[in-house]
Amino acid sequence: MNIVERFLKYVSFDTQSDENSGVTPSTSKQMVFAQYLKGELEALGLEDIELDEQGYLYATLPANTDKEVPTIGFIAHMDTSPDMTGANVNPRIVYNYDGSDIVLCEEENVVLAPSQFPELLDHQGEDLIVTDGKTLLGADDKAGIAEIVSAVVYLQQHPEIKHGKIRVGFNPDEEIGLGAHKFDVAKFGCEWAYTMDGGEVGELEFENFNAAAAKIQVKGRNVHPGYAKNKMVNAIRVANEFMNLLPENETPESTEGYEGFYHVVGVEGSVEEATISYIIRDHDRSKFEERKECIKAWGETINAKYGAGTVTVDLKDQYYNMRMQIEPVMHIIDTAFKAMEEAGVTPKVKAIRGGTDGAQLSFKGLPCPNIFAGGLNFHGRYEFVPVQSMEKAMMVVVKIAELVAKS
């Protein structure tokens, strides 16, 4: 089975996660895929294979050298995004892409066009795996899994490439922010690892957002609207007033690069009570803390006008920028950088405008930067992955293993 066949098999499994289930894995169908992967790893002859009851799968490719080599790991997640269905994925391959529009679904007029997705033109002459326009593809992150497993097979078939002990880990629920929560770092037993969960070819990421969630509760006072003067406090209007206090140019649609933001993700309510949900993001830790303080201060501004307790602010940190955990071990970035170059890939070091399992794992004691998996337009019907990008990612895994053994 080559990398394409492996990937196409993987995306036939519906592994969509569910942030509201309250269990791990959040959906039983993820465990179905995990059982399949366990069987595949067993058939390949890997060792120390373990699938725990929460859907975390671990395995070992034994070292083929007597030299003392650090144990390293490669990690990818099994779930797909709740944003769009991952059931009945029907992929096809556009061979030798010529730069024109790709009709995904003629009946619904779903077209993958360079005019809307100019990154397509970077992959002319390549073979693109696309959807039928009705589901996501699942390259996030089944491409990563296919690349890791294919790299293991490549190393088995090329014993002349010396490598140390390599651990692989496949986890559930990354898309709902819980992929690393129950990942057993001690059991994994690596000095460092890499998640294969990035996008475009060459991406190498060891910085991500600091992240928090804010829930703003607004208490109103409801009286008959005909007699409401100086009595009614309309929680919906107060919530709107709070929202207008936030800077309008510090939103996701107004920022890029290292610029942070406040993002309103939900509003609901009535005259009596209302709730606003935000996520807060910034790469800079001090600016991140300032943003949280601003949210609190805006709540106090509203309370000063309408009375104490009108607004309550509940803030919860979600994850932090992994850079502070990676900087003391920058040799792991140097290794990935060199591996890409040896695999014919131009490294593109960039900051993640989001989070990754690697960030949480880094703070659990497993330094874990992120490497490209090759897919683009994740979480929707326009998702695609070039075959050549997956092949390059696979070779980067191979080269990292080889370089670590040579160091």
Task: Point out the residues that are catalytic.
Answer: 79, 174
Cα(212)–Cα(217) distance, rounded to whole angstroms? 16
Q: What 8-state DSSP symbol labels residue 113?
A: -
Spatial distance between the Cα atoms of 192 and 335, rounded to a whole number of angstroms: 12
CB 402, CB 151: distance < 8 Å = no
Question: Which pairing describes strands 192-198 and 72-77: parallel, antiparallel, or unpaired?
Answer: parallel
State phi, psi for 352 to the nearest 5 degrees: -75, 125
- What are the DSSP calls for 324-338, one per residue? HHHGGGTHHHHHHHH
Residues in the chain: 407
Contacts of 319 (CB under 8 A, 6+ apart): 177, 208, 209, 210, 211, 355, 359, 360, 363
Q: What is the CA radius of gyration of the chain?
A: 24
Say what the alpha-carbon torsion angle 96, 100, 101, 102 is, to the nearest 10 degrees: -10
- Give every strand in the sheet of 261-269, ordered side by side: 261-269, 273-282, 210-219, 311-319
Please give the DSSP secondary-structure letter assigned to residue 135.
Answer: S
Please tell me what DSSP assigns to residue 124: T
| Beta bridge partners of residue 171, listed in sequence order | 77
Q: Backbone phi, then psi, for 129, in 5-degree steps?
A: -95, 120
Residue type, 286: S
Q: Which amino acid is residue 135, in one-letter code? A: T
CA–CA separation, 124 and 137 (whole Å): 20
Distance separating alpha carbons of residues 337 and 201, to the nearest angstrom: 12
